[in-house]
A and B are shown apart, each in its own frame.
Chain A
Amino acid sequence: MIRPHTLLAVIAALAGGAIPASAERLISSLSTHQVLVGSNFAGTELVLFGSIERDAATVPRRGGYDIVVSVTGPHETMVVRRKNRVFGIWTNAQSYTFDRTPSYLAVLSNKPLDAIAPAATLRRLEIGFDSIALAQSASALGLSPPNEFREALLRLRKERGLYREDPAAVTFLTPTLFRASIVIPPESQIGNYEVDVKLFADGVSIARTSSALEIVKVGLEQFIVSAARDHSFLYGIATLMMALMTGWFASIVFRRD
């Protein structure tokens, strides 16, 4: 997935930019800004390249640089249900609704988060799963969801690769040039994804940059979804016609008399 021209673009941007301030600047570029989901979509991997710009006036950083990349997918309303034994059968008994919850969240860094910045800083910057407050709306009983529901949400999303915390996903190619791999699993929601890159030095966030990527359904995939939603009657008739054609075709092919 490493595209040489992307790398070149980053380097060109690096060389061409005039830098007025003495602080570091962060430049990043995604290998693609659009992920197309077709019928054969089985997930994909994107690469983010970034460069830390500094000039002669920039103060030297003793501890070196750290990078945290947060990728946040479209916010959705999610329901977490818990099965209980009711009248002898296991069935969904309790449920809690989580409003405006990211459907996708990847926190990628070059080392474990707690080695990059103190917990208080991470929480203030809303970095990492521990810091993200999962909003929750009124539950069945009007209570806020117990911790086990929150943990279940995180666990279920992590199992599908939709929530990911990877302290080894960012690698430094040179002390100021880095790359991060962003994995998009097959079940990712379509929509706009926000890619936020933060630069840390000595436990302090000193620069940030953000970009966006979009996941869209295309081709047959897109056609079926929009037809089913927007032209449901015609879609139903078309599906039925397809069924009748298949049945009719079979009766001709396999005709035995």
Chain B
Amino acid sequence: MQIYLPIADIPVNVLVVLAMGLTVGFISGMFGVGGGFLMTPLLIFIGVPPAVAVASVTSHIAASSFSGAISYWRRRALDSLLAAVLLSGGLVGTLAGVWLFTKLRSLDMLDLMIGLSYVSLLSIVGGLMVFESVRAIVRSLHGQPAVPRRPGSHSWFHGLPLKMRFKVSRIYVSAIPVALIGFVIGFIGAIMGIGGGFLLVPMLIYFLRVPTSTVIGTSTVLTLVTMAAATVLHAMTNHLVDALLALILMIGGVTGAQFGARAGQRMSAERLRLLLGMMVLTVGFRFALDFLIEPQELFSLRIVGAGG
């Protein structure tokens, strides 16, 4: 069942795209992440131009994080104040990300930068996740308890000014690192077409010591708002958001996520993290292959505009 994508300007099989949405949705529900880091590369691999893939996936993530945010809101499992401070940096980051995206596109370097960002980010994050979870699994096999984190340990940024008390999360930290984390996530998300949940959640836990009860709900709110802003900004500046592509992805994504969430509850957190880490590494590796192996076709052609 072929369908012609208006903005991506390529024909695709609806069922293939729907299946991709379902699969990525399932994985994202299972691990509690947005799934952009899988969806954007998959679209690029089936031939969607990288810039269109990034811009369209932002709206797909907005959809899946909205249904997530609603359920966390119902359970009061989010910290609104923390989310607001994260967003103050996050929205600036999104603006900066879309600006750089546009700039790189005009310099004809966008596809290369998207590829390189994926390789470096995914291999570092994936590697860390695999390493951490293997260590934890080995430790539990030896019957040692997981090393408890010392709640009182202080990092350098605890000395920063502008301290705020986040009552719901029961933490007392400076607003500067919080906004900075938001900025980084918004920035990376707008350029790479990822929600950044798989980066944000560990950051919030390790750096800010946000408790697990509020961390995912709060991170979902940041993802929702930055991706919503990125969708509108990408549509306005680069005209690259393919609404039809996004709709097919969303329908598959939100459905798959529900089944994934159920499957995820039956697995231990360490094993989930190992699996996710390996998946992240695989995508990074696949991107790296494109750069390392001599391509069969060295030439590519792009129509840049009407010549009259």
Contact = CB atoms under 8 A, between A and B. Distances in A.
* Chain A binding surface, main DSSP class: mixed
A100 B251 CA distance: 41
Contacts of A97: 304
B301 A247 contact: no
Contacts of A175: none
B243 A78 contact: no
Interface stretch (A35-43, A45-53, A56-64, A105-113): A35-43
A100 B304 CA distance: 11
A244 B112 contact: no
B292 interface: yes
Interface string A219-257: 011001100110011011111101110111111001101
A89 B112 CA distance: 10
Contacts of B6: 39, 217, 220-221, 224-225, 228
A26 B68 CA distance: 67
B307 A246 contact: no
B243 to A, nearest CB: 5
B302 interface: yes
Contacts of A90: 290-295
Contact of A77 (B2, B244, B306): B306
A90 B239 CA distance: 28
Contact of A221 (B4, B65, B291): B4
* Chain B binding surface, main DSSP class: helix
B7 A225 contact: yes
B300 A251 contact: no
A25 interface: no
A231 to B, nearest CB: 10
Interface stretch (A4-12, A15-23, A117-125, A151-159): A151-159
B132 interface: no
Contacts of A42: 2, 4, 11
Interface stretch (B56-64, B166-174, B182-190, B192-200): B56-64
A54 to B, nearest CB: 39
A149 B298 CA distance: 10
B65 A247 contact: yes
Nearest to A95: B108
Interface stretch (B85-93, B147-155, B230-238, B266-274): B230-238
B302 A89 contact: no
A198 to B, nearest CB: 25
Interface of B: 2-4, 6-7, 9-11, 59-60, 62-68, 70-71, 74, 108, 111-112, 228, 231-237, 239, 241-244, 246-247, 250-251, 254-255, 257-258, 290-295, 297-308
3 A-B pairs with the lowest CB-CB distances in the bound complex, closest first: A236-B235, A247-B66, A250-B254
14 contacts: A76-B307, A79-B301, A81-B300, A90-B290, A90-B294, A99-B307, A100-B308, A156-B300, A224-B242, A228-B241, A236-B231, A242-B59, A244-B228, A247-B64
